[in-house]
Structure 1
Amino acid sequence: MRNIEIDELGATPITERKVEVVERKGLGHPDYICDSIMNQVSVELSKEYMGRFGTIMHHNIDKGMLVAGEVKTKFGGGVILKPMRIIFGDRATFEVEGEFIDVNNIAIDTAKQWLRDNMRFVNPDLIEYQVEIASGSAELTDIFKRKNAILGANDTSAAVGYAPMTPTETIVLETEKHLNSPGFKERFPESGEDIKVMGLRIGNELQLTVADPLVDMFIESERGYFQKKDELLEEIKAYVSERTELRTSVYLNMLDREGRGMGGIYLTVTGTSAEDADSGQVGRGNRVNGIIPLNRPVSSEAAAGKNPVSHVGKIYNVLSHRIASEIYMNVPDLREVYVWLLSQIGEPIDQPKIAAAQVIMEKGSIGSVEKEINEVIDKELANIREFCMELAYGRIAVV
């Protein structure tokens, strides 16, 4: 029997609260870049371990950092003065039964490929790479040698997920994805990747503040910048207004000031502020459902880069959201669902110390749905090995 508890939550649903705040750090944000690259390193290491040894070995690549460089922006195209630096941190398995795993080159090659695939104006060969990954501790490494079908948790840690997403959360997420979509970039190549969307809902009014660095090679003058900015703003307004019933206001690049030259406009050489203005770090970006929902309980662990078979800071982070979604979609009469998972170090990850569901009912009583909720939680935990393999091969997003 699993330790499952179900409770009715006496709270006002988020959509009925007067104020809601939601943030999304986009594709080219330094924190998003760190999370994405370090998690992809975990995916590539998992593939390497599986392909060569038939199992995933100990690793956690969740202490990465992106150190900002230095550029000189210029109308028509600026120059890079000092390259960005990517630092890879924490632990991995470098040797198995006398066979060497080239962790350092896997990490660097993975970062270069991610940058090629996602950042149009960043040359990965001009970035500096610093690999500080070392071998793991004996006790944590030993977890992977115990040959259990379900590994023990490598930490005592808690996570929380929820469902459904609110209209505000959804539009914040979808707006950034639209602005960074290939089709949008084809129409507006001057739009950089380092897009951030901050949503504020007060009652039925939604205010979106968007930051989008324009790429200087497409901008010939200060006047040209503000013309392009106006075009982008109108495009964003049209997109948002068609996808929400809320009254909307959209603001773009609010630090801009006409007449101040380069000091009054948001220009970049490469499309990301990591080129000279802002460093990045794993765990400071979006939660695993793609947003930073300030009205919700959220997990404190950084999921990106952690190993997918024993590190509950990753597994439970993502799984709690999946379980909450499954409950919401399959159990009737629910307004909101919150799922809490707590591990105990060394115990099998499919047997959490507690798996708790808190629900806000649409109608009826908790007793009418308790059995169905229990069955959903039990089923998802029973299938945790398959879930971990989805994480291992990068089939589930964590940023």
Structure 2
Amino acid sequence: MINIVVDKLNNNKVEIVEVKGSGHPDTLCDVLTEECSKRLSRYYLKNFGKVLHHNLDKALIVAGKAVPEFNAGKIIEPMKIIIAGRAVTKVGNVLVPIEKIIRNAVEDVMQKFNAPYELEIQVKEGAQNLKQVFKRAIAVANDTSIGVAFYPLTPLEKMVKNTAELISSENFRKKFQGVGYDVKVMGVREGKNVSMTIALAFVSKHIKNMHHYRELKHEIKTYIENLHNVSVHINTLDSYDKIENLYITVTGLSAENGDDGQAGRGNRYNGLITPNRAMSIESYAGKNINHPGKIYQVMAQKIAEDLVKKANSKCVEVMLMTEIGKPLTEPYVVSIKAENIDLRKIKEVVEQGFKDFKKLQKANLL
């Protein structure tokens, strides 16, 4: 029987929240592009006195091939990571070592996963008109884009995010040896009834046999259910007839065998995927600090949090929009949806946020 829930607009009788954990291939793509952008930005700043034009926000993970076995397993073909984008590759006679910067960044990010990979880099020189943006005296937008944020989180949003972070933690993997880094948590609230569905990769060398797998999965399910007092379902595709029908991997990453990843398909800036809330499909990861698709996400989040903390608003949604070529400190529109509206305090918070704009940009390079 199909479970159909009919509701009025904006009533949210049903709430759905998703988080992709640190080892999910989409999350990996975002983390890789962001780390590459930050390192390149710091190189520009150190060697040329300012951040130059670049966008390294395109990444793809092409899954490899692996054969997991109880107490064993092997990689047949490594995953392939592709980083693509545009950047200033030469300043005067000085060549920017972009490939070296990207390779070092990818190596450092991937080190903890202990998973083999191949790396392809496709970064070309950016468009001339976009490079001119960074030569202006004040920071201007190098794209027409938006930033969206909300605050505070609902109980379900907090629970799903906390659960994904818990499972991704070193302490959790020590407590439940055999758990991998790749996790996805989907939370659903129907009225007062809450459940979570979790996709969790297990590492084959730590799993003795079918019974051990089922036992460990049950222990984790019970642990999380007791922690949150909700119904939990783990690896619902499992069929216990053979190892090929279980979510068991060699490395703890689904990208080793059949699950590709792409930048921009994962969590939003606040670490969540929230279809019940206002959010942008613009990916913040890998963009330069003058790209409103990045810095306006950060600014919108700061304004939303400050409005709750300083303007006594219970719940806030913020949308910022600007046009390419316009000063970033002068957005085309700032849209605020809030409870307990105090126009004077809202104006103070928004104006102060944009006064601190340069500080926010610098902080985003760390």
Shorter chain as normaliser: what TM range? over 0.9
For residue 218 of structure 1, what is the aligned residue in structure 2? 206
Contiguous gaps of at least 5 residues in structure 2: 1-7
For residue 350 of structure 1, what is the aligned residue in structure 2? 329
Q: CA RMSD in A?
A: 1.4
Which residue of 59, 74, 94 maps to 1:99? 94
For residue 191 of structure 2, what is the aligned residue in structure 1? 203
For residues 86-128 of structure 1, the C-alpha deviation after alignment (integer angstroms, 9 at most, x for no partner) is 00111111111211111011111101101114x2x32xxx311
Say whether 1:339 aligns with 2:318.
Answer: yes
For residues 25-48 of structure 1, the C-alpha deviation after alignment (integer angstroms, 9 at most, x for no partner) is 001000000000110001111111
For residue 251 of structure 1, what is the aligned residue in structure 2? 233
Q: Distance in 2 between matches of 1:287 and 1:45?
A: 22
Q: Per-residue deviation at 1:264? A: 2.6
Say whether 1:379 aligns with 2:359.
Answer: no
**Aligned residues of 1:175 and 1:240 also touching (Cα < 8 A):** no
Paired residues for 1:80-119 under 5 Å:
80-117=75-112, 119=113
Q: Distance in 2 between matches of 1:152 and 1:137?
A: 16
Q: Per-residue deviation at 1:335? A: 2.8
**Aligned residues of 2:80 and 2:120 also touching (Cα < 8 A):** yes
Q: Distance in 2 between matches of 1:296 and 1:380?
A: 23
For residue 22 of structure 2, what is the aligned residue in structure 1? 27
Paired residues for 1:1-399 under 5 Å:
17-117=12-112, 119=113, 121-122=114-115, 126-146=116-136, 148=137, 150-241=138-229, 248-258=230-240, 260-308=241-289, 310-332=290-312, 334-361=313-340, 366=341, 369-393=342-366
**Aligned residues of 1:27 and 1:33 also touching (Cα < 8 A):** yes
Q: Distance in 2 between matches of 1:300 and 1:81?
A: 35
Aligned residue identity for 2:187: G
Q: Distance in 2 between matches of 1:329 and 1:204?
A: 28
Q: Distance in 1 between matches of 2:250 and 2:298?
A: 35
Q: Distance in 2 between matches of 1:143 and 1:128?
A: 34
**Aligned residues of 2:12 and 2:276 also touching (Cα < 8 A):** no
Q: Per-residue deviation at 1:224? A: 1.4
For residue 4 of structure 2, what is the aligned residue in structure 1? none
Q: Which moved more, 1:89-98 or 1:372-381?
A: 89-98
Q: Per-residue deviation at 1:233? A: 1.2
Q: Distance in 2 between matches of 1:348 and 1:39?
A: 24
Q: Per-residue deviation at 1:13? A: 11
Q: Per-residue deviation at 1:263? A: 3.1
Q: Per-residue deviation at 1:221? A: 1.1
Q: Distance in 2 between matches of 1:145 and 1:293?
A: 37
- Equivalent position SS for 1:86: strand
Q: Per-residue deviation at 1:293? A: 0.6
Contiguous gaps of at least 5 residues in structure 1: 1-11, 242-247, 394-399
For residues 179-198 of structure 1, the C-alpha deviation after alignment (integer angstroms, 9 at most, x for no partner) is 11111112223001111000
Q: Distance in 2 between matches of 1:179 and 1:102?
A: 37
For residues 343-376 of structure 1, the C-alpha deviation after alignment (integer angstroms, 9 at most, x for no partner) is 1110110100111211133xxxx4xx10100110
For residue 244 of structure 1, what is the aligned residue in structure 2? none
- Normalised to the residue count of structure 1, the TM-score between the two structures is 0.87
Query: What's the % identity of the aligned pairs?
Result: 35
Q: Per-residue deviation at 1:240? A: 2.2
- Normalised to the residue count of structure 2, the TM-score between the two structures is 0.95
Aligned residue identity for 2:98: V
Q: Per-residue deviation at 1:17? A: 2.9
Aligned residues: 359
- Equivalent position SS for 1:291: coil
For residues 144-191 of structure 1, the C-alpha deviation after alignment (integer angstroms, 9 at most, x for no partner) is 122x2x311001112211111101001100001011111111222300
